[in-house]
Amino acid sequence: MRISYIGDGQSVHNHFMIEWFQRRGHEVLFLTDTPGEGPDCETGVVAPRRGGGPFRHVGAVIRTRRWIWRWKPDIVHAHNVTGYGYWGALSGFSPLVMTAWGSDLNILARQRPVIRLLAGWCLRRASLITADAAALGETARELAGGAADIRILQWGVDLSRFEGPVEEAFRQKYRGGAETVFLSTRRLRPVYNIEVILRAYTRIGEAYPRSRLIVVGDDELGPSLRELAVRLGITDRVIFTGWLERPDLIRMFLVSDVFLSVPSSDSTALSLLEAFAARLPVIAADLPANREWIEPGGNGLLVPPGSVDALARAMAEVAENPAQARRWGEINRRLAEERGDQEKEMRKLEGWYRDLIHPAPSRLRGEANNP
């Protein structure tokens, strides 16, 4: 197949998908406004990253159409409905697959009526819509007006990479002699509530002096969060790693004990599946997508987003019961194998592509994995 993707050139999610389909022997064209280190495929830069105002999108649509009609793909797949989805919808190409990412529909489309209308318009032009959670799929269906083919698809993880052992030097550098290591890998942006994690950790620090908190990432809130850790007096037990390359990020999961993810809004985060693959118990925000994966007290804990007290209690409960935490981690690994295996998910998507290109009367609508 010849597949044209439209999306963020700096997103590991897009990189994973493109690289998987390339390994399968498919030809890929990647259209983006953010070229960078990524998949080794033909790439078209269709817009500047910033600037240009509304004319930026006009120019992007024109260049996207030119690339698509010149390259002649079998299928086009646009990622993020309220961004690159516009370019895909206005390209006029069919079949068009569109993937909702969570922030596009759960935040932007809910906050701004104009974006809500545009999102609905885009979704109605898609041949197939994928979402990584039933709740996100229902939002897409609502915006599209009901008549949409929506299927659940996970980004998935390469489970083989989440197996030990980890080099002792790496383990000592980040874990040292800590009995419990809490890990956060979400972006250092307001929606992810990293400040809540720091404040909750402060509450339990004295009771668990041999614990450690590792915060991965380096975004807009990085400097202020580091300053907060200084004011809270926890710098001796908190490590800010900055941005990590993929191999070191995986190692970080493998040397940790508990994964923390408490954003104000989310769908099924790739980092959640990574934590599951690494056999970690998870403390997550009580959001619809997380409820599809976590049964409180069964394989993790859910806390209200923004609640420092609730998060601190959950962290203390997991630290106090390491045997229970290990049991939860084993359950999570099995869930990753059953529902979050990248190979299984991408083969599923490959089959959908083939059905869209060569539709059989009884296949497409009848077998939809609708939420």
Examine residue 296 and state whether it is found in any structural domain, yes or no: yes
CB atoms within 10 A of CB 71: 15
Please, are residues 225 and 194 in contact by the beta-carbon 8 Å criterion? Answer: yes
**Residue of 83, 59, 65 lying closest to 10 (CA atoms):** 83
pLDDT value at residue 366: 43
The DSSP 8-state label assigned to residue 329 in this structure reads H
DSSP letters for 212-269: EEEEEB-STTHHHHHHHHHHHT-TTTEEEEES--HHHHHHHHHT-SEEEE--SS-SS-
Q: Would you say residue 371 lies in a domain?
A: no
- Residue 367 belongs to some domain of the structure: no
Choose among 225, 157, 137: nearest CA to 189. Answer: 225
In a domain, 364, yes or no: no
Bridge partners, residue 2, by sequence: 27
Task: Please indicate, yes or no, whether residues 163 and 213 belong to a single structural domain of this protein.
Answer: yes
| pLDDT of 367 over the 80 cut | no
User: Under 8 Å CB-to-CB from 310, ≥6 apart: which residues?
Assistant: 303, 304
Instruction: Tell me, yes or no, whether 193 lies in a domain.
Output: yes
Indicate if 298 and 349 belong to the same structural domain: no
In percent, the amount of the chain with pLDDT more than 90 equals 78
Tell me, what's the pLDDT at 174? 96
Between the alpha carbon of residue 208 and those of residues 21, 124, 135, the distances in Å are 46, 52, 37
- Confidence at residue 54, expressed as pLDDT on a 0 to 100 scale: 56
- Is the per-residue pLDDT at 197 higher than 70? yes
Are residue 150 and residue 220 in the same domain, yes or no?
no
Q: What is the CATH number of the domain that holds 62?
A: 3.40.50.2000
User: Confidence band (pLDDT; 50, 70, 90) for 363?
Assistant: very low
Cα angle for residues 147, 150, 156 (degrees, 5° grid): 170
Check whether residue 84 and residue 185 sit in a common domain. Answer: no
**How far are the Cα atoms of 47, 77, 88 from residue 187, in angstroms, in the given order?**
25, 25, 27
Considering the chain, what is the average pLDDT of its residues? Answer: 91
β-pairing verdict for 96-99 and 300-303: unpaired
Residues 347 and 293 in one domain: no
pLDDT tens-digit series, residues 152-165: 999 999 999 999 88
- 10 pLDDT above the threshold of 80: yes
Domain check: are 191 and 144 in the same one? no
Question: Does 353 lie in the same domain as 315?
Answer: no
Q: What is the pLDDT of residue 47?
A: 67
Same domain, 190 and 233: yes
- Residue 232: give the domain boundaries: 159-339
219 and 247 assigned to the same domain: yes
- Residue 100 in any domain: the answer is yes
Q: Are residues 107 and 216 in the same domain?
A: no
pLDDT in tens, 289-326: 999 999 999 999 999 999 999 999 999 999 999 999 99
Are residues 82 and 127 located together in one domain of the fold?
yes
- Model confidence over 94-139: pLDDT tens digits? 999 999 988 888 887 788 888 889 999 999 999 999 999 999 999 9
CA 64/CA 86 separation, integer angstroms: 11
Strands of the sheet with 238-242, listed across from one edge:
238-242, 211-216, 180-184, 258-261, 282-285, 300-303
pLDDT at 364 over 50: no
What pLDDT, on the 0 to 100 scale, is given for residue 220? Answer: 86
216/60: higher pLDDT: 216
Helix (H, G, I), strand (E, B) or coil at 283: strand
For residues 146 and 249, membership in a common domain is answered with: no
Span 324-348, pLDDT tens digits: 999 999 999 999 999 999 999 999 9
pLDDT value of position 359: 82
pLDDT given at position 9:
87
DSSP 112-158: -HHHHHHHHHHHHT-SEEEESSHHHHHHHHHHHTS---EEE----B-
**Mean pLDDT throughout 280-290?**
97
Q: Which pLDDT tens digit goes with each residue over 33-85?
A: 887 766 788 888 776 655 555 566 788 889 999 999 999 999 999 999 988 99
Query: What per-residue confidence (pLDDT) applies to 362?
Result: 47
Residue 235 within any structural domain of the chain: yes
d(CA 74, CA 68): 10
For residue 133, being part of any structural domain is answered with yes
Specify the number of domains making up the chain.
2
